[in-house]
Structure 1
Amino acid sequence: MKLLGSYYFFFFIAFGALYTMLPLYLESKGLSKQQASSVMAVGPVVTVIFQPIWGMICDRYHAQRKVLISTLIAAATIGLVYTFSDTYPLYLILFAGMALFHSSGVPILDSISLSYTQRNGGDYGSLRLWGAIGFAVASWGAGLIAERTDLSVIFYLYAGAMIACVLLTRGLPQEQTHLGGNMLQGLRKLVFIPRYLLLMSSTFLVFGVIQANNALYGFFFTAIGGTVAGVGLSFLIAAGSEAPLMFIAGKLIRKYGMIPVLILAATVSSLRWIFYSTEPSSTLVMWLLFVQGISVGLYLPASAQFIREVTPKEVQFTAIGVYSAVGHGLGAMTWTMVGGVIADKYDIFTTYRLLGVASWLGVCVLITLFFVNRRHRGGNRA
């Protein structure tokens, strides 16, 4: 359990250092908001393609640790090369390469953690919270260091954290799955599970927007008078608030059910984006950042557990891989690109107005899922 928690910690240190500061780094190199957003969006594009593939490879060959070691070394190497880039096409290509390789981490680690906790006891949320802590610490630290030195420091933090994960990989438990037939058979099975498809739709709308905020928040916060260090501090507060909610997520899910917890998380997230669209003061924004703990801290463990419940065991690596690709990939790609275009054409506050509407649609999908699931379970709570 401790090793899994450490893995989440270092893996999300890499994400926290890179994703929160890269838009500002790109803007400092002369890129427009639309160009910077398109660079951020190319990562999710690649994730959409490769994250399910990593999951299927692990299902088919039981090669979780080998995949992690090779892909994370490659990601760290490209991260170091990134500092030598100086053109928009290079920024796009190299970030796509980083995303290609580090996209293996989330679905594999989540699947290993869920299998381990189900077999040996424990709570997935209490493991996942270490990722939130790592993301928070890295965001804050990267902001402080970057403001005092240079924004390029984020790539060294990213590479160092990835190498730390590589060193921890040999100790990960080797969870076995059993796949029958062709690797694509898992995708065919998932297409015929309505509850899974509804969750994917809500994840695209709700969690995709949350991921887009990670790319767009720096533009928003500086637009309301905040500083680069303030951006890092914001992510410390927001991501740090996820940890205690992830710690108690299991209790809330057992008491109220998975879908009601998902609806609560999505509703809070939607209200947050509508609030941002009103051009609030930076002080008020900082005070209310803790609500991210309710949205992300509850949505991640509840959705992961729901997937384990509604999908066959032999395709669960693939199911989680597709889920991660939809939320961290397709959804993030769509809303980041759309948000960047709108921010350049209008302003960042109009962008957040749109993100709020998209999240509300995600709430509606989850309400539909609640009734579909209740009918499927014969009136029993999920």
Structure 2
Amino acid sequence: MSRESRTVIGFSLLDGLYWAFYAVFVGFIATYLLACGISNSILSILLAVFMACSFAGAFFWGGLCDRHHTNKKVFLPEFIGSVILSLIIFFLAKVNLWIAAGLYPLFGFFSAPLGSNLDAWMIKRFHKDAGMYGKARAVGSFGYAAAALVIGLLIVQVGYIVMPIGIVICAVPVALLASAMKEDPYPQTCEHIEHVNASALLKIRPYIYMIVILFLTGLACAPINNLKIVIMQSVGGDVGMLGIDSFIGTTIQAVFIFASGRLKRIPPYVRLIMMTMFALFDMVLIVTAGSPVMVIIGSVMWNASYGVMLPTVREITEKNVHGALKNTAHAMADAVYSSFAGIVALIYSGFMMDSFGARSVAVLGMVIMILPTVMAFFALFQGRKTRGDVN
């Protein structure tokens, strides 16, 4: 077996087990807190604070990577801190729900940037080879899908006690693999910086154009994804069905990410259109859903959107952002989509669900999605000038 193949396999296992850990805790913590007695409105506010801390964490941990020119040495303590906090939150929720809820945002500060950190580590190790990155990252999505399915079904049969067991089973090999995997040194042209000036990213036109599209798309999708259990229950589903939803949807996501090497032949701005259209179809299906099956099909659409989006965002960032800010830029893109947009969305989403029904957030999401869709089409019809910017 070649050294290159061993590297791909090693990172594939690392990514798969990391995302399995993420699925076990983050995928079901909202349903667990609801089962412990927290309300939809309080949960949505808690998730908004969680995302605010995640957004801050993205700059803190991404900045550490850029300042010290390492992903591995930042990933390990960041991950270990996340695992410890997840176990404390789980066991404390039954004793004192409010203290556990207060620790959840701190978990977000530690955990949310882990995915972008690991992605940046892999991209550098694979020398920006989209095909190699896509294969390894697809295993991450498969890991999430498998863990979500298994844990969702086990929760129905056994109870939430399977969550800490799953966390430990996934976390131990992740820590061992992360310790064993190597990282390439940063290029000599990448200078040492004492302070990361993230405001420099605001001057990069194609990057900021992409960030705006990501923010609006995340604003539409965040309430649905983070409170999916409420929508699922409104059409007769349960936690087990939520696991099936995650498994099927994330499997589709993995297929698109795996094919990112081939999809790279499609211009980035066309892929942005695909991303927004898939997300819009998700909203339509949620609004018209009469059964869990339609909610699951909507999840397939969103995961297809994410599967197209992730490699495209990584590509645009790598092409347009200076080496000294790449980690911060990757973390910022993820944080804007998953955290900053969620901060805005989740403040009102719990109230909307309690007042107007679970699917009301999807109606608003349809309206919001019009703008990023128009922006993506605008980029398409700009012709050669816009093509030069986005590429």
- Give the TM-score, by structure 2 length: 0.90
Specify the SS of the correspondent of 1:234.
Answer: helix
What is the deviation of 1:120?
6.5
Summarize the Cα distance change of 1:5–1:31 in structure 2 as closer, same or farther, 3 Å threshold: same
Identity of matched residues, %: 19
Q: 1:347 aligns with which of 354, 357, 360?
A: 357
1:100 aligns with 2:109: yes
Q: 2:231 aligns with which of 191, 196, 220?
A: 220
Q: 1:14 aligns with which of 21, 26, 45?
A: 21
Specify the SS of the correspondent of 2:33.
Answer: helix
Q: 2:257 aligns with which of 246, 263, 267?
A: 246
In 1, Cα distance between the equivalents of 2:245 and 2:87?
A: 26
| Aligned counterpart, 1:319 | 329
For residues 212-241 of structure 1, give each alpha carbon's deviation from its aligned partner in whole angstroms, at most 9, with x where no partner exists: 433111110111001221111111111111
Q: What is the identity, as a one-letter code, of the residue corresponding to 2:41? A: Q
In 2, Cα distance between the equivalents of 1:10 and 1:302?
A: 23
1:84 aligns with 2:92: yes
Aligned counterparts, 1:1-382, within 5 A? 1-82=8-89, 83-85=91-93, 86-118=95-127, 122-177=131-186, 178-185=190-197, 187-254=198-265, 256-287=266-297, 289-370=299-380, 374-375=384-385, 378=388, 382=391
- RMSD over aligned CA atoms reads 2.3
Q: What is the identity, as a one-letter code, of the residue corresponding to 1:137? A: A
Q: What is the identity, as a one-letter code, of the residue corresponding to 2:196? A: L
Summarize the Cα distance change of 1:367–1:92 in structure 2 as closer, same or farther, 3 Å threshold: farther
Specify the SS of the correspondent of 1:290.
Answer: helix
Q: Which moved more, 1:122-131 or 1:3-12?
A: 122-131
Q: Is the 8 A contact 2:283 2:298 kept in 1?
A: no
For residues 253-296 of structure 1, give each alpha carbon's deviation from its aligned partner in whole angstroms, at most 9, with x where no partner exists: 21x21120121121111121122122422233335543234211
Count of aligned pairs: 379
Summarize the Cα distance change of 1:155–1:302 in structure 2 as closer, same or farther, 3 Å threshold: same
Summarize the Cα distance change of 1:28–1:305 in structure 2 as closer, same or farther, 3 Å threshold: same
In 1, Cα distance between the equivalents of 2:38 and 2:130?
A: 49
Q: Is the 8 A contact 2:48 2:343 kept in 1?
A: yes
Q: Is the 8 A contact 1:20 1:139 kept in 2?
A: yes
- Give the TM-score, by structure 1 length: 0.91
Q: Is the 8 A contact 1:8 1:127 kept in 2?
A: yes
Summarize the Cα distance change of 1:221–1:377 in structure 2 as closer, same or farther, 3 Å threshold: closer
Summarize the Cα distance change of 1:84–1:293 in structure 2 as closer, same or farther, 3 Å threshold: closer
For residues 324-374 of structure 1, give each alpha carbon's deviation from its aligned partner in whole angstroms, at most 9, with x where no partner exists: 111121123322332222111211111111122222322223334446684
The unaligned stretches of length 5 or more in structure 2 are: 1-7
Q: Is the 8 A contact 1:72 1:101 kept in 2?
A: yes
In 2, Cα distance between the equivalents of 1:21 and 1:291?
A: 21
Specify the SS of the correspondent of 1:174.
Answer: coil
For residues 11-45 of structure 1, give each alpha carbon's deviation from its aligned partner in whole angstroms, at most 9, with x where no partner exists: 11122122332222111111111112222333211
Q: What is the identity, as a one-letter code, of the residue corresponding to 2:201? A: L
What is the deviation of 1:173?
2.9
The unaligned stretches of length 5 or more in structure 1 are: none
